[in-house]
Each structure stands twice: as C-alpha cells, then as structure tokens.
Structure 1
C-alpha cells in the first residue's frame, strides 16, 4: 500500500467492531437517530498522522452506512473520532475514499 492510499478491503475484526461501538454515539447524535443494529462488515485503512478507518456498517437488513473514523497515534492519547459518514448505502456499495 502506498502512503496515503487506501488498503485493500478486509473483513471486520473484533477490534474494528469495538471501534464502531465507540463511535456509535457520535453517529447517532449527528444523524439524530438510534440504531439497534450497528455491525461492522468490512473496512479499509489509510495511514496518515494516525490511521483513518473506512468502515461499512450494517444498520438494518437493507441499510448500510460508511464511516470514516480517525485513530490518533498512541502517544497522542486521544479518543477515536468520527470524521464523517455516508448514509443510504447498500451491501454492494464499495468502500471508497470520502
């Protein structure tokens, strides 16, 4: 992977699901809706001054969202940040940079 480029798509891991669980309140607050389902499906990463995670999340049987989550470098000791998101996605929509 070239610096700044997106990684290949990978299946979500327990660590990625944990990250999604941590930013769920930020998403729900900004979107003004509650999501009983919030399951990470796949993700890509981008190395910057930290790591951007692009994560496809299932919010219902037919509705998906794409999250961009920033994880700072360990020495910065900052919480995960929901940078942006895209709603109205489907299971088949590819994860792309946004």
Structure 2
C-alpha cells in the first residue's frame, strides 16, 4: 500500500503477527490505525510519512519496533501501556503518548 494517498483507514487482521517494512509508507490520507494484540513486530518505516495519521493504538505484544516507523507523522498520538516497548519507543522518538485505560 506504499504511497496510496487515498487510503484512509486499515483493518489489520487479528491473525497478523507483523507489519511489513514500508507497508503504509506515505499513505498521507491514513488517519487511524489500530494494531491488534497478535502483532509482535512492526517493520522499518511501516508508517513513515503518513502525515494524516493522528492516532495509533500499539499493543503490549509489539516488542520489535523498527527504525523510523512513524517518522514524519506530525501530530500523531500513540496509545500504549506505560513501560511497554511501544511506550519506550515513542518516548525515545518524540512521539506523544497516551496511557491505555
């Protein structure tokens, strides 16, 4: 789906265990992503350049988060559990986080 500017939302299957590198890179119309608990790996640059992305839910199960996954996603907020790999990734990369619950 890389570069698919008309894509506004995605439903990731509950059986998916990873999101491929660059899968949604530069999908500028994408605004909301809910990553299911089944996902353990998010590949490099998976959502890079998704300038319309405002909210992403990242589960505790995501323990492998690649480089520049949300690079260029200005105004994004990640919803995740404090102390999780996702929380640390967001803090280390200047991404606003909101606590689950």
TM-score (norm 1): 0.25
Larger radius of gyration: 1
Larger helix proportion of the pair? 1
TM-score (norm 2): 0.25
Larger strand proportion of the pair? 1
